[in-house]
């Protein structure tokens, strides 16, 4: 058990780096110095002294060096600053989309499991329809009708990501609905709402909540894919997906534009999945990997 | 068994009808109807289109009919694979899709075959010693592959093999021939390989830990017979895995075709979205849904053939995977 606990702590710390970086990015990477002297001279500059949108056409596509640790892109913007700020967008999109997806899934799963009968069948039909469309296809088709933006992307991703949570909560609610302790509460006059919120949901929700890291990981992947296709948050927002799309046309020269956002994306998804594995405490479980 | 088959086919048809309704609903609810979209997509945006022309267009295409009637007409035409004409070049959508499809199919079938050819032996080898060195290494590699977006993988391969080693072309076209297909196929293979190898490993390890395997060992069966039995016992789960792989493959193929600028269905979808070419977007959306539903149906039927208990389970949810 201590092994599992240590694994959870390690995974948690690794994963927590991303929200931390996302929160601190405007402090770490900014052109304005941390401390300015009276005459306006720089006393202490930020660790990455560049704004993510700071265009510098004299320094386009400089390779990594002392001034720009990870080089600059085709507009002379510092790659490190953009990757750091990109963490904000990716993490926020992933978190928003996965929270919405879990909320929606929990609500529909509870409804289906608790009401049963016709309602159950209706929810299952909707679930099957959403599952019949590959996530990216549904999100792209939706993006074709709406103006691309951060919020639209997160909403569309949530609309595709709720099905697994709904299945889990539905199964849990069904299993618990007729347990002896629920019957006892019902017999002693508890209302439907009380039965649901006090007796059933506290047991039915945790399995679905434990999948949050997986859902977040796949939401981040879908957002990056959408941005890569040019359908995510519009420019000039620093986005890993779009940075990669821009870098594609610079190949084979500007390798420093490809590797940092690609690696950041990988690391965020990888640590999220590790956290999910640690939550579930069972490595090699395949069902949750299909998300 | 027959009842199960009929029920699953009916449920698959219901799902497809639901997808049709969803897609139709999207079109109907979208801001700006087909007439104004066609006016915008077809010509110069600076030239205003008169309201009379828009009304004539709507009448010509039956857009002034009631919604229910339009849905029925639209569905009947979709069933005949008639999706109208593209707003980009005026070609029938079905022809454009048919031209793009062979590339996508060749790419994905090759990638899936390769993923199985490599993934199944790898999974079996890892399962023979759970926790052994091979198991841990392949587990880590698969985890890493699983967390890498397919388009990042593609870009990396492109950087190394086309940029640095210069053995493959940067942009695939007719001149580069088959060489242009190597990297996309490898990218998609690696993307599916992780799932196949890990899934096979879990199933085979479970089957090898089973008392039946112990009984076989006690009778003096060698490893080949033992593994053959384990694979047979897992066949039902493999069918479910194959079906679950399809949506991921479709999504991955869209991005990978974009990375390698291949003229496939995924690339067509991305292009059509940019051009706001709704008929093409809708046709491709429906096509991908049909592929996924068909795969899920086939997976369920194969699962039931290998393991009749699944057919008896009343609450069996189609498309679910149980390792």
Is 60 exceeded by the pLDDT of residue B314? no
Strands (E), chain B: none
Residue B34 lies in a domain: no
pLDDT band at A83 (very low <50, low <70, confident <90, very high): confident
Is 60 exceeded by the pLDDT of residue B198? yes
Is 90 exceeded by the pLDDT of residue A96? yes
Closest CA to B67 of B20, B17, B24, B31: B24
CA terminus-to-terminus distance, chain B: 22
Residues of B in contact with A133 (CB under 8 A): 19, 22, 247, 285, 288-289, 292
- How far apart, in whole angstroms, are the C-alpha atoms of residue B95 and residue B85? 9
pLDDT at position B41: 53
What does the pLDDT look like over B144-189, one tens digit per residue?
888 888 889 988 888 888 777 777 777 766 566 677 788 889 999 9
Chain A residues 229-288 with a CB less than 8 Å from chain B: 229-231, 244, 247-248, 251-253, 255, 258-259, 262, 265-266, 269-270, 273-274, 283-287
B152 interface with A at CB cutoff 8 Å: yes
Extract the tokens encoding B110.
């090759």
Residue of B nearest to A221 (CA): B149
Residue B242 lies in a domain: yes
Residue B153 lies in a domain: yes
* Residue-averaged pLDDT of chain B: 80
Is 60 exceeded by the pLDDT of residue A149? yes
pLDDT band at B313 (very low <50, low <70, confident <90, very high): low
Q: How far is CA B235 from CA A4, B139, B231, in A?
A: 32, 22, 6
Segment A57-75 shows an average pLDDT of 75
Segment A167-177 shows an average pLDDT of 89
Residues of A in contact with B159 (CB under 8 A): 251-252, 255, 258-259
Residue B308 lies in a domain: no
Q: Annotate A103-130 with b (16+ C-beta within 10 A) or e (fewer).
A: ebbbebbbbbbbeeeeebeebbebbbbb
Is 80 exceeded by the pLDDT of residue A170? yes
Which of helix, strand or coil describes residue B269? Answer: helix
Q: Provide the shortest C-alpha distance from residue B219 to chain A (in Å).
A: 30
Residue B212 lies in a domain: yes
Residue B80 lies in a domain: no
pLDDT at position A105: 93
Q: How many domains does chain B have?
A: 1
- The boundaries of the domain holding residue B224 are 93-274
Closest CA to B234 of B124, B318, B312: B124
CATH number at residue B226: 1.10.3720.10
pLDDT at position A1: 47
pLDDT at position B106: 87
Bridge-partner residues for B137, per DSSP?
none
pLDDT at position A98: 93
Residue B264 lies in a domain: yes
Q: How far is CA B3 from CA A39, B6, B318, in A?
A: 85, 5, 15
Concatenated DSSP letters of A52-69:
TT---GGGTTPPS-SSST
CA terminus-to-terminus distance, chain A: 27
Q: What percent of chain A has pLDDT over 90?
A: 9
Residue B55 lies in a domain: no
What does the pLDDT look like over B203-241, one tens digit per residue?
888 888 888 888 888 888 888 888 888 888 888 888 888
Asked if A169 contacts A113 with a C-beta cutoff of 8 angstroms, the reply is: yes
pLDDT band at B318 (very low <50, low <70, confident <90, very high): very low
pLDDT band at B312 (very low <50, low <70, confident <90, very high): low
- The pTM of the full predicted model, rounded to 2 decimals, is 0.83
Residue of A nearest to B15 (CA): A129
What does the pLDDT look like over B256-307, one tens digit per residue?
888 888 888 888 888 888 777 778 888 888 888 888 889 888 888 888 888 7
Q: Provide the shortest C-alpha distance from residue A249 to chain B (in Å).
A: 10
Is 80 exceeded by the pLDDT of residue A111? yes
What does the pLDDT look like over B102-141, one tens digit per residue?
888 888 889 989 999 999 999 988 888 888 888 889 888 8
Extract the tokens encoding A60.
């386009």
- How far apart, in whole angstroms, are the C-alpha atoms of residue A239 and residue A90? 7
What does the pLDDT look like over A224-244, one tens digit per residue?
988 888 887 777 777 888 888
Residues of B in contact with A136 (CB under 8 A): 250-251, 254-255
**Of the ranges A4-13, A18-27, B63-72, which one carries the lowest mean pLDDT score?**
B63-72
The interface predicted TM-score of the complex, written ipTM, equals: 0.81
Strands (E), chain A: 35-36, 42-44
């Amino acid at each position: 058990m201590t092994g599992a606990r240590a694994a959870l702590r390690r995974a948690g710390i690794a994963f927590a780096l991303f929200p931390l970086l996302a929160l601190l990015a405007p402090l770490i990477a900014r052109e304005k110095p941390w401390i300015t002297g009276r005459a306006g001279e720089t006393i202490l500059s930020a660790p990455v002294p560049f704004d993510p949108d700071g265009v510098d056409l004299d320094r386009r596509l400089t390779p990594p060096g002392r001034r720009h640790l990870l080089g600059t892109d085709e507009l002379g913007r510092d790659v490190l600053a953009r990757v750091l700020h990109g963490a904000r967008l990716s993490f926020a999109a992933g978190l928003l989309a996965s929270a919405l997806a879990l909320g929606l899934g929990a609500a529909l799963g509870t409804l289906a499991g608790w009401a049963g009968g016709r309602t159950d069948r209706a929810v299952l039909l909707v679930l099957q329809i959403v599952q019949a469309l590959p996530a990216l296809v549904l999100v792209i088709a939706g993006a074709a009708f709406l103006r691309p933006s951060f919020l639209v992307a997160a909403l569309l991703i949530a609309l595709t990501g709720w099905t697994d949570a709904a299945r889990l909560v539905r199964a849990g609610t069904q299993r618990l609905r007729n347990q002896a302790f629920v019957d006892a509460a019902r017999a002693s006059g508890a209302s439907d709402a009380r039965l649901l919120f006090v007796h059933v949901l506290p047991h039915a929700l945790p399995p679905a909540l434990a999948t949050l890291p997986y859902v977040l990981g796949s939401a981040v992947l879908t957002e990056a894919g959408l941005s890569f296709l040019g359908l995510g948050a519009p420019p000039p927002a620093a986005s890993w997906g779009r940075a990669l799309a821009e870098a594609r046309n610079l190949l084979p020269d500007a390798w420093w534009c490809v590797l940092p956002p690609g690696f950041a994306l990988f690391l965020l998804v990888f640590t999220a999945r590790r956290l999910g594995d640690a939550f579930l405490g069972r490595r090699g479980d395949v069902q949750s990997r299909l998300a | 068994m027959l009842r199960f088959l009929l029920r699953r086919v009916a449920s698959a048809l219901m799902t497809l009808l639901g997808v049709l309704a969803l897609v139709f609903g999207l079109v109907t609810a979208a801001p700006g109807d087909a007439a104004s979209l066609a006016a915008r997509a077809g010509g110069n945006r600076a030239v205003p289109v008169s309201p009379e022309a828009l009304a004539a267009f709507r009448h010509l295409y039956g857009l002034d009919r009631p919604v229910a009637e339009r849905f029925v007409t639209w569905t009947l035409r979709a069933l005949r694979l008639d999706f109208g004409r593209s707003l980009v070049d005026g070609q029938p959508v079905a022809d454009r899709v048919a031209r793009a499809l062979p590339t996508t199919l060749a790419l994905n079938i090759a990638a899936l075959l390769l993923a199985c050819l490599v993934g199944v032996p790898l999974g079996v080898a890892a399962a023979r010693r759970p926790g052994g060195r091979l198991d841990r290494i392949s587990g880590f590699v698969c985890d890493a592959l699983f967390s890498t977006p397919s388009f990042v993988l593609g870009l990396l391969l492109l950087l190394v093999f086309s940029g640095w080693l210069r053995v493959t072309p940067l942009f695939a076209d007719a001149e580069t021939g088959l060489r242009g297909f190597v990297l996309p196929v490898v990218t998609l293979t690696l993307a599916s390989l992780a799932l196949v190898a890990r899934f096979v490993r879990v199933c085979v390890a479970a089957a090898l830990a089973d008392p039946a395997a112990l009984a076989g060992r006690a009778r003096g069966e060698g490893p080949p017979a033992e593994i053959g039995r384990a694979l047979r016992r897992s066949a039902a789960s493999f069918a479910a895995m194959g079906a679950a792989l399809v949506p991921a493959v479709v999504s991955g193929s869209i991005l990978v075709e974009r990375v390698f600028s291949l003229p496939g269905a995924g690339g067509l979808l991305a292009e059509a979205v940019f051009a706001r070419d709704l008929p093409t977007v809708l046709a491709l959306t429906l096509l991908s849904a049909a592929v996924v539903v068909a795969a899920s149906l086939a997976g369920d039927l194969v699962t039931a053939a290998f393991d009749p208990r699944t057919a008896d389970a009343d609450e069996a949810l189609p498309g679910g995977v149980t390792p």
